[in-house]
Amino acid sequence: MCPECHSVEHEVVELAGTGTVYSYAILHHPQHPAFSYPVVAVLVDLDEGIRVVSNLVGVEPPEVRIGAPVRVMFQATADGLTVPVFEPAGPT
């Protein structure tokens, strides 16, 4: 949704899949069997200026840093779908 006018109109564009951690939260509860805990829920500012909600993987929760560079990867889900998550793209 557009943060300025709340429009839900959209278009498809290709993105580099790189960005930086804007903020994050370490989730311990409530737990769902589809996830390994703790889950690092992250807000990523993509290089193109879009902010997305995702999970950060491949990093221990104490090592997560605001401003850290990340890149997208695609993770299979239990029901055969694929979702975008992020992994560190440099020193944390």
Neighbouring CB atoms inside 10 A of 49's CB total 7
Does 8 help bind Zn ion (rule: CB under 5 A)? Answer: no
| Closest listed residue to residue 19, CA positions, set 74, 71, 92, 87 | 71
| CB-CB contact of 15 with 44 (8 Å) | no
Does 9 help bind Zn ion (rule: CB under 5 A)? Answer: no
Distance CA 37, CA 52 (A): 21
CB of 10 to Zn ion, least distance (A): 11
Nearer to Zn ion, 5 or 81 (CB): 5
Does 12 help bind Zn ion (rule: CB under 5 A)? Answer: no
| Closest listed residue to residue 72, CA positions, set 48, 60, 54, 59 | 54
Does 11 help bind Zn ion (rule: CB under 5 A)? Answer: no
Of 3-11, 20-28, 31-39, 53-61, which segment contacts Zn ion by CB under 5 A?
Answer: 3-11
Nearer to Zn ion, 10 or 29 (CB): 10
Nearer to Zn ion, 6 or 32 (CB): 6
Nearer to Zn ion, 6 or 29 (CB): 6
